[in-house]
Amino acid sequence: MVNIDNKHCTCRNWSLTGIPCCHAMAAIKFLNLSEEDFVPYWFRISTYEETYNSIIYPCNSQQMWIQTEFPYVLPPPKRILPGRPKKKRRLEAWEMNKNGKQITKHGLTKKCSICKEVGHNKKSCPQQPQPAPPTQPAPPTQATQPTNVGSEQPPTLVTT
């Protein structure tokens, strides 16, 4: 909804920038009003030409600057932060996953390592060799325990 009198539109572009948005321009054209009346004067071509009409003189080069007795201002020394330095490159916004830690695989297609076709992987390959059906397990055998018939008994410890 556009209010031409208050120079306001519900998209808020006109209020934020001062330049009429596309909705406001459509309403202005519909009412057969002049668009220039709704553009602020500092955005007009005449104001731009007036600003840069005079000659702007360039600055002198660094050799012509006045020498002072004060030392040069240098940037602060680089601090070495504690811990191991980061080696991983910074990821772009489109590479970040939802949790912000994993790289997404946008643009990559699945390719099977068995048949080399695109669209499926090794797990769902139609040419994957089927595993052999399990064989009938052998009936459990009874474990025989050795008997101590006729063998020596282990010596017993007698204390006095």
Give dist(CA 34, CA 55) in Å, integer. Answer: 33
Q: Report pLDDT digits (tens) over 98-154.
A: 665 555 566 677 788 888 888 888 888 888 877 777 777 666 666 555 555 555 666
Alpha-carbon gap, residue 83 to 117, rounded angstroms: 46
Q: What's the confidence (pLDDT) of residue 101?
A: 56
pLDDT value of position 103:
56
Per-residue pLDDT at 91: 74
23-72 pLDDT, tens digit each: 999 999 999 998 888 888 888 888 889 888 888 888 888 888 888 899 88
- pTM to 2 decimals? 0.35
Tokens representing 124 are: 């769902």
